[in-house]
Amino acid sequence: MQINISAFAAIVMILALSAWPDMTSASTLALTTTASEATCFSARGEQAIALCTAELAKQKSADAFSNRAGAYGFAMQYDEAVADYTSAIQLTERDGVMLPTYYQNRAGAYFAMNKYELAIEDYTKALDLNPKLSTDFVSRGQAYAALNTDKEAFADFDRAMKDKFVKPLALRVRADLLLTRGEPDRAIQDYQDCLKLQPGNVYAMIGIGNAYLKKNMTDSAFSQYDLALSTRPICPECLIARGSAFAKIGNKEKAMADYKAALAFPDQFIAPSVKKEAEATIRQLQ
């Protein structure tokens, strides 16, 4: 069965962005750093790109190219990110400790550009260099899924589950895929197994809500969205998920309210691509 690529991409958007620096740490830095103290790491958008470019002017090192690539990634300038990660790779020895990470991050940029074959190639290179990068099995599985090669996707998710630290993520992402394939009951089981390992995983709660909605169990679906929001009040993705559900049942007023509430959070709390998609949805609802 073919996958609805748009739906799958929306569900796993956060994971696709995991190639860039950690969003939680970024939020803390952005809240505690003044403009005069901004650095290549703490700044965002064009300011970050400019600061990272200034660092590159001092020393064209692999780390400097990688830092700017991360800034480009947050700004959704993926072509530029790929170019800088490529430079970082070229400047790194074959046994360089950071080489797997550079391949991993370039793969994330390719994934964000919908260049799934290239993403798979880079995730494979990263895994060849460091088989312990279990999250790359999850990410490569997503890329396989986007190409409708389910057998390879599920095989990668199974490989990732051998790592107890990555198993919750693998369960959730596998559930996302099962849901897009029209198997809400199997998806719910995976989401629930994820929550047994990570009781506070709001994305699993959202997933269960989406599965209930697909089963026309509306009240149960909204209970899950509300649970996610009570678990993590600062959660634009939770509001967007509930807003999307309201839109699906024809309640445009509540849908708009949730989308606008999500966009009211400062930029450090919402990924640029998620914000862009939310803004587009509001335009459609108006």
| Identity of residue 120 | I
Q: Is residue 236 part of a domain?
A: no
Residue 40: per-residue pLDDT: 82
Q: Is residue 78 part of a domain?
A: yes
State how far the Cα of 64 lies from the Cα of 164, in Å rounded to an integer: 33
Quick one: average pLDDT of 149-171?
A: 97
Residues contacting 251, CB < 8 A, separation 6+: none
Residue 226: per-residue pLDDT: 98
Residue 7 is part of a domain; what is its CATH number?
1.25.40
- How many domains are contained in the chain? 1
State the alpha helices, DSSP H only, in the chain: 5-11, 13-16, 23-32, 45-58, 62-74, 78-90, 99-112, 116-129, 134-146, 150-160, 167-180, 184-197, 202-214, 218-231, 236-248, 252-263, 272-285
**CA distance to 6, 47, 106, per residue, from 82 (Å):** 22, 19, 6
pTM: 0.83
Q: Is residue 134 part of a domain?
A: no
Residue 140: per-residue pLDDT: 98
Residues contacting 57, CB < 8 A, separation 6+: none
* Greater model confidence, 154 or 7: 154
Quick one: average pLDDT of 54-62?
A: 93
The domain of 66 spans 1-122
Q: Is residue 17 part of a domain?
A: yes
Query: Model confidence at 272, in pLDDT bands (50, 70, 90)?
Result: confident
Query: Model confidence at 99, in pLDDT bands (50, 70, 90)?
Result: very high
Q: Is residue 31 part of a domain?
A: yes
State how far the Cα of 115 lies from the Cα of 93, in Å rounded to an integer: 26
**CA distance to 19, 163, 169, per residue, from 166 (Å):** 15, 5, 5
Instruction: Provide the residue count of the chain.
Output: 286
- Please say if the pLDDT value at position 15 is more than 90: no
Quick one: average pLDDT of 104-117?
A: 97
Kindly report which listed range (6-20, 98-112, 159-173) carries the lowest average pLDDT score. 6-20
Q: Is residue 237 part of a domain?
A: no
Residue 37: per-residue pLDDT: 61
Query: How many Cα atoms occupy the beta-carbon half-sphere of 118 within 13 Å?
Result: 14
CA 56, 127, 15 angle in degrees (round to 5)? 70
- Please say if the pLDDT value at position 129 is more than 90: yes
DSSP-based three-state secondary structure for 35: helix
pLDDT tens, position by position, 226-259? 999 999 999 999 999 999 999 999 999 999 999 9
